[in-house]
Structure 1
């Protein structure tokens, strides 16, 4: 047998190193989870816009998230929102990571306390206005308790999903490489089958740091499926047509 040199072996290794296709079937046990659809991330007046705005515009994130809310309503898919709030007592934390410290410094997602909505309307913690008609439909959308750092470990998202007998999640929202990716990792660890709508997320882009590239890479390596918003809409339209035949 002819020997294989190191260069050929490296080439063969690259050819073999392909991610398998796992697939994702959307059924009645599937929900859409949208993370942080809030002004501070998605409005040009939001305190994080300077960091995430470029990625939001490149991905058409605002409109794509709205499409997901609409698709949920039109197709009977329950939507869960996992928001990010900081209350006054959270500013007394004795230590933070770099991004936590930044969020506290710029008063991101600030609210008075759990029972205080004074000044909430139109604030950075409030929903983007175009999402409000969907979120206010309490039968179709569940707003979970706030997560506090990045992932859903400290809110009731998993409980709310389990109580609706959901075992599959279509994930989107803000910001891609932090809260969305952290939600993805935790939901996978909790046994959910998971797809991500890649262009319904966005991430900070800073000098030498591209959060969106990092996020999209990790989505592809961990999720069962990566959709574009258009692809998901086409799939749901096809399923609707089959159901009507």
Structure 2
């Protein structure tokens, strides 16, 4: 067993989760040869679509993150950061809205008495911490900050940064409001983490009547002894998403739409 660097103080340990945990063998993620479910065939219309990126932050996508020992392999093997840069560039080029649904924890959030396993872990690691909702003191250089590769796209004066989603889905933030106010009813969804916030955003947007495509190589998830979060999410995306695209497919859809 290998202790997670930077998380030893909270007693987290990681062990292999099948082949993927140790060898980056991606065959487990291949689509079935003879699928039983039909493809919905989502056609993108850029005039009513938006790119929604969840948690494009240091504490999920950088080796600086205390969570990197469990998310790093997935982020790396799917080329998540370079693929998100490609999505940002392409979306800006066709003037589609870009909306960020971020994760922030403020000091008062650390006093929650009711928490799930991942919330407990994130609070112990200090992930997404900010000094308060009305200040950016300490934001620069923190784990809550945007990945450096994304700053020029997020801080361009056009990108919408929603209020933070506190757990997994966007029910507690203004994502749906911001999309609706822009006449958006199609969403290209990317970010972190696949089986947590991405899947929760997908499910909520579907329930609100949006058509949603998930970009399968612009998402990633943790690999714990409990399981591979990416694989868990991928199975559900095949069941419920209107589209399950690669970055290349998403870019082609933008150019065609």
Pairwise same-fold verdict (TM > 0.5): yes
Shift of 1:16: 9.8
- Output the CA distance in 1 between the equivalents of 2:85 and 2:236: 24
Distance across 2 between alignment mates of 1:23 and 1:181: 20
CA displacement 1:93-130 (0-9 Å, x = unmatched): 01200001000111100001111211100100000011
Consecutive unaligned residues of structure 1, counting only runs of 5 or more, are: 1-14, 241-245
Per the normalisation by structure 2, the TM-score is: 0.84
| RMSD of aligned residue pairs (Cα, Å) | 1.5
Structure 2 Cα separation of the partners of residues 88 and 236 of structure 1 = 40
Tell me what 2:172 maps to.
Answer: 154
Instruction: Tell me how far 1:208 sits from its aligned partner.
Output: 4.4
Partners in 1 of 2:34 and 2:220 — Cα distance?
31
Moved over 3 A (4+): none
2:60: which partner in 1?
A: 41
Matches within 5 A, 1:161-180: 161-180=179-198
| Structure 2 SS opposite 1:80 | strand
Deviation string, structure 1 residues 24-46 (Cα, Å, up to 9, x no partner): 11111011100000000011001
Look up the SS of the partner of 2:71 in the other structure: helix
Q: Could you tell me which residue of structure 1 aligns to residue 131 of structure 2? A: 112
**Normalising by structure 1, what TM-score?**
0.88
Q: CA deviation at 1:207?
A: 2.1
- C-alpha distance 17-105 of structure 1, shift in aligned 2 (>3 A): same
Alpha-carbon contact 2:43-2:253 (below 8 Å) kept? no
User: What pairs with 1:210-229 in structure 2 (closer than 5 Å)?
Assistant: 210-229=228-247
How far did 1:71 drift? 1.0
Structure 1 residue 17, shift from structure 2 partner: 7.2
Q: CA deviation at 1:22?
A: 1.1
Question: Could you say what secondary structure the match of 2:164 adopts?
Answer: coil
Asked whether the equivalents of residues 163 and 173 of structure 2 are also in contact (C-alpha less than 8 Å), the reply is yes
**Aligned residue for 2:207?**
189
Give the conservation status (yes or no) of the 8 Å contact 2:91–2:254: no
Name 2:12's counterpart in structure 1.
none
Q: Larger radius of gyration, structure 1 or 2?
A: 1
Aligned-pair CA distance for 1:21: 1.8
Report what 1:133 is aligned to: 152
Q: Shift of the alpha carbon at 1:48?
A: 1.4
- Say how many residue pairs are matched: 224
2:226 and 2:152 mapped to 1: Cα distance?
A: 38
Structure 2 distance, partners of 1:114, 1:19, is 44
Aligned with 2:44: secondary structure? coil
Which residue matches 1:24?
A: 42
